[in-house]
A and B are shown apart, each in its own frame.
Chain A
Amino acid sequence: DGGITQSPKYLFRKEGQNVTLSCEQNLNHDAMYWYRQDPGQGLRLIYYSQIVNDFQKGDIAEGYSVSREKKESFPLTVTSAQKNPTAFYLCASSHSNEQFFGPGTRLTVL
């Protein structure tokens, strides 16, 4: 389970505020991913990055932004444009095909 970390574990935000979720990995993986997990909807892909300084929109990118300035880090910003941001967010990294997930951040908008 080690090697990929997310912080914080729980995050509360007021409506209209942007918030950034951290994801760090020391597995030397090139690819990193952000997923949103809602009950009954599985894991939905928000953004993914194959290399530093490059990333692609996933299936539900609206209202989110990312950066990939370092290989180890792939932070996700949830902007005020995201209409329903309360969810569990999972970050993952991979080398070859297997994805290694972080412990997740539960975001609640008050």
Chain B
Amino acid sequence: GENVEQHPSTLSVQEGDSAVIKCTYSDSASNYFPWYKQELGKRPQLIIDIRSNVGEKKDQRIAVTLNKTAKHFSLHITETQPEDSAVYFCAADKNSGGYQKVTFGTGTKLQVIP
């Protein structure tokens, strides 16, 4: 089955600096790669996603890159703010026999220091 590895597990940055979180996946059939943000005590919410036919996607201060050959994708947050502090999960999603199965990474706890 699919295996998603996520690094680092914790990340501290100064406010205004950039943060990068990296994930690798094992199944070349995975074709959709979302990123979820989970604030303390809240449910995960989608912040950005990328499909396998795209190499990069940007939404304001957040960007995601995908390297299909190397099977890795990354989340980039620029000009970090205290409200960016949360746990971030990457995921790999594929259609298997008509079922959409999602495998999540283990999460990165991001702390933005004011």
Contact = CB atoms under 8 A, between A and B. Distances in A.
Contacts of B106: 40-42
Interface string A16-32: 00000000000000010
A50 B99 contact: yes
Contacts of B6: 42
B45 interface: yes
A98 B43 contact: no
Contacts, number: 56
Interface of A: 1, 31, 33, 35, 40-45, 48, 50, 56, 58-59, 90, 94, 97-99, 101-104
Given A90-B44, A103-B43, A98 B34 contact: yes
A42 B107 contact: yes
B43 A94 contact: no
A99 B102 contact: yes
A42 B9 CA distance: 10
A50 B99 CA distance: 6
B25 interface: no
| Most chain A CB atoms below 10 A, which of B32, B42, B44 | B44
Nearest to A39: B107
A43 B100 CA distance: 16
A31 B96 CA distance: 13
Given A42-B89, A42-B105, A42-B106, A56 B43 contact: no
B104 interface: yes
